[in-house]
Amino acid sequence: MPGPEDYDAGPFVPVGADLQGLRDAAAGCRGCPLFREATRTVFGSGEASARVVLVGEQPGDQEDRKGEPFVGPAGGVLTRALAEAGIDPAEAYVTNAVKHFKFERQERGKRRIHKAPTLHEISACRPWLASELRLIGPEVVVALGATAGKSLLGSSFRVTQQRGVPLVLPPDGDGEAGGTLVATIHPSAVLRADAAARAGAYAGLIADLGVAARLLDDGSR
């Protein structure tokens, strides 16, 4: 019986596939146990020509039902924050570090409450994210929250210490070029903040996205 250290999406990732080919293959991924309870794989959304890739944690309840990333309440916060930071959503590809919804059932199974993925699950799903980044080759990657940061920069990543500044995204295992990464909080943290802290959390999200927007502006000159 394979243990968590053996979780790996790698064998499910087709060589030479385009984004649609990856998306189709990811629908059948069994690289870790998260596929068992979730409704479906929620792959990234956007164009291969995207200049910026936004990486969240994992799909939430609504994303799991609809099959698209960032279509729930946190997605609404992200869409508004992108607009305020000056990032054109048409230039953005949105995805998650983990492609299946991890949750526990409460209220006799009626409610599905988000549960954070483990490092083994994050690492298992990384081949999908690495493939998306390799195909798109974005100018800037934005890590939304700790899980995305750990997937992209390693388990020592701390969003509170590393947010809002350009960071070096190391090359992936195939020796592909890395790039520039900007980390910020996950938009769901704005929703979870109490009333007194919410405006500040949202302003911080916009400020960090503004760093990514300026990098994109510099790249267009």
Q: What backbone phi and psi angles, to 5 degrees, belong to 150?
A: -65, -40
Q: Which residues contact 41 (CB under 8 A, 6 or more apart)?
A: 26, 27, 28, 29, 35, 99, 100
142 binds ligand SF4 (CB under 6 A): no
What DSSP state is assigned to residue 139?
S
41 binds ligand SF4 (CB under 6 A): yes
**Two tokens, residue 164:** 């809002």
Among 13, 19, 22, 26, binds ligand SF4 (CB under 6 A): 26
**Two tokens, residue 197:** 């802290």
Question: CA–CA distance from 19 to each of 10, 32, 135, 169 (Å)?
Answer: 16, 21, 7, 21
31 binds ligand SF4 (CB under 6 A): yes
Query: According to DSSP H, which parts of 45-178 are helical?
Result: 61-66, 73-85, 119-136, 146-153, 159-162
Nearer to ligand SF4, 40 or 214 (CB): 40
Among 19, 29, 78, 82, binds ligand SF4 (CB under 6 A): 29
212 binds ligand SF4 (CB under 6 A): no
- Residue 105 exposure: Cα atoms within 13 Å on the Cβ side: 5
Per the DSSP assignment, residues forming a β-bridge with 104 are 113
124 binds ligand SF4 (CB under 6 A): yes
Nearer to ligand SF4, 70 or 128 (CB): 128
Residue span 85-114 as binding mask against ligand SF4, x where in contact by CB under 6 A, dash where not: -------------xxx--------------
Residue span 42-81 as binding mask against ligand SF4, x where in contact by CB under 6 A, dash where not: ----------------------------------------
Q: How many residues bind ligand SF4 (CB under 6 A)?
A: 15
Nearer to ligand SF4, 30 or 111 (CB): 30
- Distance, CA of 184 to CA of 110 (rounded, Å): 32
Nearer to ligand SF4, 41 or 162 (CB): 41
- Residues forming contacts to ligand SF4 in the complex (CB under 6 A) are 9, 26, 29-32, 34-35, 41, 98-100, 124-125, 128
